[in-house]
Amino acid sequence: MAGCGRPMTAVEPEATVSITESQLDFFDWFGFLVLPGYLDPVLDSLDGAFDEVMRDPGPTFRDGRELLPRAVGYSDALVDFLESSFVEKPVAELCGGDFNYLTSDANLFRVGSGWHNDGYLPVRHVKLLVYLDPLTACDGALRVIPGSNRWDWPTTVDARAASFFDTLDENVPHTVLETRPGDLVLMDYRTWHAALGRTTGRRMLALSFSERYPEAELPVLERWIADYDRFGLDTMFGPKVLESDGPRIQQVLANEGELRRRFEASPLRRAG
Ligand SMILES: O=C(O)CCC(=O)C(=O)O
């Protein structure tokens, strides 16, 4: 839905497909879920908005991939998507009705991604991955280790895992998620994943969410947010998300203090 004086940027279709009980169980057990064609009704809008934000303001971080942190916050169409039932419905199922919107990024990959997970946090963190180009095992489709979301850190997996898995490369037992534009991939942060094979110009939009943090765990949230100082950020959200000032961002905003302190001291400091 559009709001707060923002112009309507596209027709606003509603998600008609709900996640079933067995899909929720699948996510719980295996740490990922693919919804084929789920985003077809909004694909053109997402595709156009992605290319626009990659032109302006454009990627601010390059390490083989070109990355624009907090990408959603630079586009009315992407904010509409964030607030739409396409996002709200599955995320509320996985993270509860009072979930947090954490951040987003737009990426143009010119390299693959080695085996890693996105962190072990005390509450569920979920990433929505929107790949805007058809991907097969040969050209950089996402690979996941099903069930690795249930590994304990550091009991069953430790810091040596990433380098060991990288030596194994394609021989790590895994599933390849071949996707076409319009598919939505949902992944638990704990799930180990990689993108291998020839990979040139894969476009990926990622949105991150979490369950609401209980009071006692807020210091963990604050440290997690502060890690974004690696991108020279003072806040997790781009201007258009900040304008919306919605309930989904309040817990993150309230815990950005350490990020702002690091930003003030950072040589990467940049405005906007
Ligand atoms: O290269 C990819 O598609 C995977 C992206 C990824 O690893 C991540 O966003 O954590």
CA of 195 to the centre of ligand 1 (A): 7
Q: What does the pLDDT look like over 32-86, one tens digit per residue?
A: 999 999 999 999 999 999 999 999 999 998 888 899 999 999 999 999 999 999 9
Classify residue 141: in a domain, yes or no. Answer: yes
Q: What does the pLDDT look like over 188-205, one tens digit per residue?
A: 999 999 999 877 789 999
- CATH number of domain containing 73: 2.60.120.620
What is the end-to-end Cα distance of the chain in Å, rounded?
25
Q: What does the pLDDT look like over 249-262, one tens digit per residue?
A: 999 999 999 999 99
Classify residue 226: in a domain, yes or no. Answer: no
Classify residue 88: in a domain, yes or no. Answer: yes
Classify residue 164: in a domain, yes or no. Answer: yes
Q: Give the position, in ligand 1's atom list, of the atom nearest the Cα of 193.
A: 7
Beta bridge partners of 184: 35
Determine the structural domain holding residue 47 and report its residue range.
Answer: 22-216
Is the shortest distance between the CB of 187 and ligand 1 below 6 Å? no
CA of 74 to the centre of ligand 1 (A): 21
Classify residue 246: in a domain, yes or no. Answer: no
> How many domains does the chain contain in total?
1
Q: What does the pLDDT look like over 143-154, one tens digit per residue?
A: 999 999 999 888
pTM: 0.92
Classify residue 228: in a domain, yes or no. Answer: no
Q: What does the pLDDT look like over 118-133, one tens digit per residue?
A: 999 999 999 999 999 9
Classify residue 40: in a domain, yes or no. Answer: yes
